[in-house]
Amino acid sequence: MVTTSNLTHTHTDALHTDPKAGDKVAVLLMGYGEVESYEDFANYNEQALNLLTAKFAPVPLWLYPPLAKLLAIFDLHEWSHQHGNFVSPHNEIFEAQRAGIESNLKDRWGDRVKVFKAFNFCAPHLPEQVLAQVKAEGYSKVLIYPLLVVDSIFTSGIAVEQVNNALNKLSTEAEHWVKGIRYIPSFFDRPDYIKLLAQQVVDNVEKKLAVAHLPSQTGILLMNHGCPHKAKGFTSGIDESQELYELVRKELMYRYPLISIGWLNHDTPMIEWTQPDVTTASKNLMDLGATAIVYMPIGFATENHETLLDVDHIIEGLRKKRPDVTYLRLDCVNEHPEFVAMAAQWANPLIEELLEEADMMVQPSMAEQVRAQIAKEFHQHDGHHGHHDHGSHSHGSHSHGSHNHHGHDHKEHAHHGHNH
């Protein structure tokens, strides 16, 4: 993407005389959100089950409410009884990220840009609630910005899904109130993000471990979101996560030869998850001679119960069997000033586009008319194509092709049933 930092002053000056200078952009910064009250567990779980689990597990809809209540009991036991009323810092960190990104953007765009935060699972910051606020405050141009490292149906997919549902509910006028929209895809391959992750590893190793552990005996475990291998045809994020791992590994491998990916999985029955998981990867590094292991989350931009509780659980279990090994858990990038600045920089070109382009004119009521017109064109084209081909194929040949097509469909159907 073309950098625009050197154009800042000229563009800013031009905007003052731009006839569209009244335009404003709402940046919708989106994250998971985590519950901060034990009473909210069941509701949180039901939403998460509905949006996440349904993408890979054959769970009937009627099962969500009781299953959510059951999971709430497990969560209460784990977070309250085992961890002294643990409250995830995720929401607080995400607010610091939002404020930092907004501050960086306002340095360039002033009051023409405002950053709103939305959480996939947590009221009062659900996308529907936040977009209602965006509309009420007079913003007509929206930049959808999931602050999630990889694009998948489980991350940005459910964010966009909820935005689309909210936009449908909030569109009551003949002409849609949204006049411009852009989207920031994942940043798994952004060089500045990759270098920041690698630098955090190097800095912490040199500061805390180098005095007692050789580089060749310092295992680096780079942690990604776990992904189910089968996601009902949706993109699961595995490819991007593996590429992210390889890019960070290449920054570090000349210093530290013992590097492994570690997937933080939600192990569920009958579902095949990415391997190796963090526990297995840790044991593998020890088998190769690691006397210290560094746990660096790369697939998470914001601290959450997975990067805290789950990793601490894993380390506690390993320490009981191998107390001779040093275990160091590192933080996510969180509100690190360098990360916040680069996250704002990624948004600048798209904000510029939104401010400079002509307004969209979308009329949802015309959808039926558009469908009919396209269907008419399709049938006209199809009819012409069929008439043209009629003489070149015999009736028997046509039937044979049709038979194969149906047989293929049948095979696909059987395979789909096997997956379930």
What span, in angstroms and rounded, lies between the C-alpha atoms of 380 and 367? 20
pLDDT digits (tens, 9 = 90+) for 142-192: 999 999 999 988 788 889 999 999 999 998 888 999 999 999 999 999 999
User: In terms of pLDDT, which residue wins out, 43 or 398?
Assistant: 43
288 in helix, strand or coil? coil
- pLDDT for res 155: 80
pLDDT digits (tens, 9 = 90+) for 399-411: 444 444 444 444 3
- pLDDT for res 61: 59
- pLDDT for res 4: 37
Q: 318 with 343, same domain?
A: no
- pLDDT for res 48: 60
- pLDDT for res 154: 78
Residue 64 within a domain: yes
Whether 31 contacts 120, CB under 8 Å: yes
Local confidence band at 374 (pLDDT 50, 70, 90 cut-offs): very high
Looking at 360, 392, 407, the residue that finishes a domain is: 360
Residue 115, beta-bridge partner list: 27
In 3D space, the residue among 326, 281, 338 whose CA is nearest the CA of residue 97 turns out to be 338
pLDDT digits (tens, 9 = 90+) for 86-112: 688 999 999 999 999 999 999 999 999
Of 10-19, 21-30, 189-198, give the range with the top mean pLDDT. 189-198
Q: 40 with 166, same domain?
A: yes
- pLDDT for res 420: 33
**Long-range pairs, 50-55, Cβ under 8 A, ≥24:** 51/120, 51/121, 51/158, 51/161, 51/162, 52/154, 52/158, 55/153, 55/154, 55/157, 55/158, 55/231, 55/232, 55/234
Span 375-381, average pLDDT: 87
User: What sections of 61-190 are H helices per DSSP?
Assistant: 64-76, 90-109, 127-136, 156-170
Residue 87 within a domain: yes
Residue 76 within a domain: yes
The overall pTM is greater than 0.85? no
Q: Which domain holds residue 329?
A: 191-336
Q: What is the DSSP code (8-state) at residue 292?
A: E
Residue 19 in this model has a pLDDT that exceeds 60: no
User: What sections of 2-122 are H helices per DSSP?
Assistant: 8-17, 41-51, 64-76, 90-109
Looking at 336, 352, 374, the residue that finishes a domain is: 336
| CA-atom Rg of the chain in angstroms | 25
Span 378-388, average pLDDT: 67
The identity of residue 317, as a single letter, is G
Q: 296 with 306, same domain?
A: yes
CATH code of the domain covering residue 86: 3.40.50.1400
Domain count, the chain: 2
The DSSP bridge pattern shows strands 25-31 and 141-146 to be: parallel
Whether 119 contacts 126, CB under 8 Å: yes
What span, in angstroms and rounded, lies between the C-alpha atoms of 318 and 327? 9
Q: 164 with 208, same domain?
A: no
Average pLDDT, the chain: 82
Q: 174 with 208, same domain?
A: no
Q: 309 with 232, same domain?
A: yes
- pLDDT for res 197: 98
Residue 67 in this model has a pLDDT that exceeds 70: no
Q: For the sheet containing 141-146, what is the strand order? A: 113-119, 25-31, 141-146, 180-183
Looking at 336, 352, 386, the residue that finishes a domain is: 336
pLDDT digits (tens, 9 = 90+) for 185-215: 999 999 999 999 999 999 999 999 999 999 9
Residue 307 within a domain: yes
Residue 384 in this model has a pLDDT that exceeds 80: no
Q: 332 with 198, same domain?
A: yes
Residue 122 within a domain: yes
Residue 20 within a domain: yes
Q: 247 with 308, same domain?
A: yes
Torsion of CA 185, 187, 192, 195, to 10 degrees: -170
Q: Could you tell me what percent of the chain has a pLDDT over 70?
A: 73
Angle at the Cα of 162 from the Cα atoms of 57 and 38, rounded to 5 degrees:
70
Residue 212 within a domain: yes
Q: 325 with 343, same domain?
A: no
User: In terms of pLDDT, which residue wins out, 21 or 115?
Assistant: 115
Residue 399 within a domain: no
What span, in angstroms and rounded, lies between the C-alpha atoms of 234 and 148? 17
Burial class (CB in 10 A: 0-12, 13-18, 19+), 77: exposed
Local confidence band at 351 (pLDDT 50, 70, 90 cut-offs): very high
Q: 200 with 183, same domain?
A: no
Burial class (CB in 10 A: 0-12, 13-18, 19+), 42: buried
**What DSSP line would sit under 185-232, residue for residue?**
---TT-HHHHHHHHHHHHHHHHHHTTTTS-GGGEEEEEEEE--BS--T
The identity of residue 397, as a single letter, is S
pLDDT digits (tens, 9 = 90+) for 296-336: 999 999 999 899 989 999 999 999 999 999 999 999 999 99
* HSE-up of residue 164 (Cα within 13 Å, Cβ side): 7
What span, in angstroms and rounded, lies between the C-alpha atoms of 326 and 236? 33
Q: 268 with 140, same domain?
A: no
Q: 137 with 222, same domain?
A: no
Span 218-246, average pLDDT: 89
- pLDDT for res 49: 56
Whether 150 contacts 21, CB under 8 Å: no
